[in-house]
Structure 1
């Protein structure tokens, strides 16, 4: 172990009960480290520090002494538990995000079973997870070889068209929908076998014109907030369809409180129950997992047979698209102890943006990679304290 980590761990244990310094942490220079993502995380970290009465200390620098315990806002889910513990991250009280025992657990690959008992798999893979998730996910398979992917595609064509989802891509980028075996073969031939072997490829029943629900929960300063709502799609500066924001109902309390206070319509209630089942299954099947911020995307729509389906697509245990709304709700609950429920909407607008006067702006600028982008949140000014 790096001697510097021993120092960090000792300082964290000694100062754990006192005030902390909140820092952002770029876990990997390849992941979520564009200009707008850096600025966004810094905004969130400053606000999380203010909520807890702590100091915001900027970006974490492993080469500098820490001077006390830290609270981390990492760029991604942490996939090395030993390193996390050495950094002083031992529970949900130590970060805004999550820790998993294996890197693949942080990806959409865990949402589906393997094609068979002899299928290729990464070390640590739990075959029990798919059983516990059950119909909380859409029909699909996770594959770690092109041969397995061919078999998975053929099995899924009985239902209808098949969606191919690279595991490392986010925001819907890189996905393809194939109509038949020939289209599947062409798509697989164009893919990197090593990428599939290392990270996996998801093949999933395609839904026509689906609506994507967001279900999530966060734990900050011993305060639990749960939420549900729907996502919006927009087009980025290149014209591709990407995440455009979320409209959420957020409540003080756990998922039971969410169901009681929001009283969602049957499809949204179904999404909440599926997200809960998925979350419990991960906890049961992957010891060592914990997260203070969880978000589950649940797709609902018609499959190729015309049957309505609902299922968790993937999880997020890091700062995400809905975090602007999440922190706005935390601030509202902090400011008004009687407030039990709020409505918040977060927006990601590419190109020219007209920002409402009452918006909480998280980022507005011309990102060198993304182009013109504005990210902001609108919070319902009237807390829903007494009404469902």
Structure 2
């Protein structure tokens, strides 16, 4: 049964991006519809005129920046949105995942305290906000092996390059805008081989909390490029401690604990941070010296590729109070596949940029045991 929505008058999709692809917009609307059902509210057109009595639940397409500005919309706590809110732009990106090199420049609101507290959960690397500091960071990291250059606004690993020499950094820096770099930053990180990437996350909606661990799958688009193909999640009712009660392999238990440490550091050192949707990518791989390393790559405090599976899990827990665990998955398939009979379709059509695409989610393996 949906939760009562006596404090909210509707759910509104808040698209803050300059451009949203067709398939993403359709999936976002479907997600907003599902959240509205959970909350017992209608989904409203964002263009609908608001009155002083309106209290909306927002579904933003990005992590929101500037709590004071968004308080005017009524976004103050995690009960007001599916996503997250931070005080400064860099806090919304993977820039937080590393400290600065010594004597580096930094933007307003920067704190080294986050990386210091979360150090055991991080890979070796640096965040920089200028080209001069990027050169310094590269020289330091290259002493131990290849370095991965990671633009902080790119998704799904796009735009990343691996360098073996300091000279190889220069053409990459030449393409970067100094002003954007000063606001958003750039990550330089030890490059790992034989990498496995795990997802750890938590969502809190309509009085429900569920937490999960999972993996991502890759697929090929119509051009043959390897791209994100979906997520497979084990979702439990409750917080991260409930997740840790599962029988877990050591590397998974470590990944969950690293995500928790990363999140605690954010809650402690980022004033104004709130999030009802929390997702962390944790990489496990081998360094140039042959050491196995695990660390949080980045956070997602906004709706993401796994959110359709998160929604189905929330709905299952809401419908069945005895349910303790489910397996939920998302799938992005290029072409015209035969959909499984248990698929919940989020998009199917010819996207103007990607071509024929289907996006769906499934939920399986219901478990009532405690």
TM-score range, shorter chain: over 0.9
Q: Which runs of 5+ in 1 are unaligned?
A: 1-15
Q: 1:283 to 1:329 in 2, by over 3 A?
A: same
1:109-128 mapped onto 2 (5 Å cutoff) = 109-116=95-102, 118-128=103-113
146-155 or 370-379: bigger deviation: 370-379
Q: 1:180 Cα shift?
A: 1.9
Task: Please list the CA deviations of residues 222-258 of structure 1 after superposition, one character each: whole Å capped at 9, or x if unmatched.
Answer: 1110000111122333433322211110000000001
* 2:69 alignment partner in structure 1: 83
Q: 1:368 Cα shift?
A: 1.1
* 1:10 alignment partner in structure 2: none
Contact 1:341/1:384, CA 8 A, preserved across alignment: yes
* 2:156 alignment partner in structure 1: 171
Q: 1:190 Cα shift?
A: 3.6
217, 221, 228: which is aligned to 2:202?
217
Q: 1:215 Cα shift?
A: 0.3
> Quick check: 1:100 aligned with 2:86?
yes
* 1:340 alignment partner in structure 2: 324
* 2:25 alignment partner in structure 1: 38
* 1:25 alignment partner in structure 2: 14
* 2:147 alignment partner in structure 1: 162
* 1:253 alignment partner in structure 2: 238
* 2:184 alignment partner in structure 1: 199
Task: Please list the CA deviations of residues 237-296 of structure 1 after superposition, one character each: whole Å capped at 9, or x if unmatched.
Answer: 343332221111000000000111x22211111110000000000110011101000000
228, 249, 266: which is aligned to 2:250?
266
Contact 1:211/1:231, CA 8 A, preserved across alignment: no
Contact 1:27/1:76, CA 8 A, preserved across alignment: yes
* Cα distance between partner residues in 1 of 2:101 and 2:314: 42
Q: 1:97 Cα shift?
A: 0.5
* 1:243 alignment partner in structure 2: 228
* 2:44 alignment partner in structure 1: 57
4+ residue runs of structure 1 moved beyond 6 angstroms? Answer: none
326, 331, 351: which is aligned to 2:335?
351
- Secondary structure (helix, strand or coil) at the match of 2:117 reads helix
Q: Which runs of 5+ in 2 are unaligned?
A: none
Q: 1:110 Cα shift?
A: 0.7
Give me the TM-score of the superposition, normalised by structure 1: 0.90
Contact 2:230/2:332, CA 8 A, preserved across alignment: yes
Give me the TM-score of the superposition, normalised by structure 2: 0.95
Q: How many residues align?
A: 366
Contact 1:172/1:242, CA 8 A, preserved across alignment: no
- Secondary structure (helix, strand or coil) at the match of 2:299 reads strand
* Cα distance between partner residues in 1 of 2:11 and 2:117: 36
